[in-house]
């Protein structure tokens, strides 16, 4: 079995693929000083609940944009599963070209999303990842990574608004009832929600105009489904895109 580990800024996702389908997926908070033993203490219980033995996992791949967490995740794989993990990086065989000035700068999560999206849906396309940051990644018809855009995520924007303005409360993200807010909380929700809808629609329009190309738009990330309620810009919402990218990358770079 293959275990994929997607370590992002907010969550670490562990998922198991048996060669035919995903048989388990678990999410934990990203804690940079978490030890390999602490991860194992939780993960082994979750695996046991699904009837998965550690010796059944013979292949592991890690994708992360949080360097401090990588050492402990490597130890987890070596000490508890007896597997040397493959680390997703721009040096691996991706099956496409990374057409930016410095390929080492791009986050592997964005490459993984591009790999999975093009494999599943074809191209050209734009992947919009609504996570800690909101990113737009442009993939051409051949699957090559052409670059993209990074903007603050919705949660970060709300946190900044709350911290910078003393009278604005801390609120959750929901779709507002109306665009015009009649009190502070609804006004904030409208600004964040419809502001990001405008951001997404506007940037995609500008990308298409600049490239003189019509793109399919794929949404992913924890807030993608919520934002999709307010726009028809997304052709597809695929919440497991990064996990699929890790699986595909591991298959392309098998060491044995």
Binding site for substrate: what residues are annotated? 107-110, 184
Please, which residues bridge with residue 4 across strands? Answer: 15, 61
b/e 221-243 (16+ beta carbons within 10 angstroms → b): bbbbeebbebbebbebbbebbbb
- Judge contact between 127 and 224, C-beta under 8 A: no
Q: Distances in Å between the alpha carbon of 175 and those of 13, 79, 103, 202, 203?
A: 26, 45, 37, 19, 21
Please, which residues bridge with residue 86 across strands? Answer: 61
- Which pairs with CB-CB distance under 8 Å and at least 24 residues apart come from 28-37? 30/66, 30/69, 32/66, 32/68, 32/69, 33/68, 34/69, 34/72, 35/72, 35/75, 36/72, 36/73, 36/75, 36/76, 36/79, 36/80
Q: Distances in Å between the alpha carbon of 90 and those of 9, 48, 97, 102, 155?
A: 19, 34, 10, 10, 28
Alpha helix (H) ranges present in the chain?
A: 36-49, 67-81, 108-121, 154-164, 184-211, 224-228, 241-252
Return binding residues: 6-13, 107-110, 129, 132, 184
Query: What residues are annotated to the active site?
Result: 109
Return binding residues for ATP: 6-13, 132
């Amino acid at each position: 079995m293959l275990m994929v580990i997607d370590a992002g800024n907010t969550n670490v996702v562990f998922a198991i693929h048996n060669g035919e389908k995903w048989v388990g997926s678990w999410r934990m908070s990203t804690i940079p000083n978490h030890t390999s033993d602490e991860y194992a203490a939780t993960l082994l219980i979750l695996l046991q609940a699904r009837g998965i033995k550690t010796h059944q996992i013979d292949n592991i791949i890690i994708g992360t944009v949080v360097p401090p967490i990588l050492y402990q995740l490597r130890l987890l794989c070596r000490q508890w599963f007896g597997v040397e993990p493959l680390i997703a990086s721009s040096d691996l065989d991706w099956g496409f070209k990374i057409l930016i000035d410095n390929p080492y700068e791009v986050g592997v999560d964005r490459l993984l999303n591009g790999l999975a999206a093009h494999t599943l849906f074809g191209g050209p396309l734009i992947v919009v990842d609504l996570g800690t940051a909101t990113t737009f990644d442009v993939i051409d018809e051949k699957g090559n990574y052409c670059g993209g855009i990074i903007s603050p995520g919705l949660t970060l924007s709300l946190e900044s608004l709350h911290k910078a303005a003393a009278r604005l409360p801390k609120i959750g993200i929901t779709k507002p009832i109306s665009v015009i807010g009649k009190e502070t909380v609804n006004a904030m929700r409208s600004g964040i929600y419809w502001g990001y809808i405008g951001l997404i629609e506007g940037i995609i329009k500008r990308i298409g105009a600049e490239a003189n190309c019509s793109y399919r738009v794929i949404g992913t990330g924890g807030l993608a489904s919520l934002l999709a309620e307010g726009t028809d810009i997304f052709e597809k919402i695929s919440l497991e895109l990064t996990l699929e990218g890790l699986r595909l990358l591991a298959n392309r770079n098998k060491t044995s």
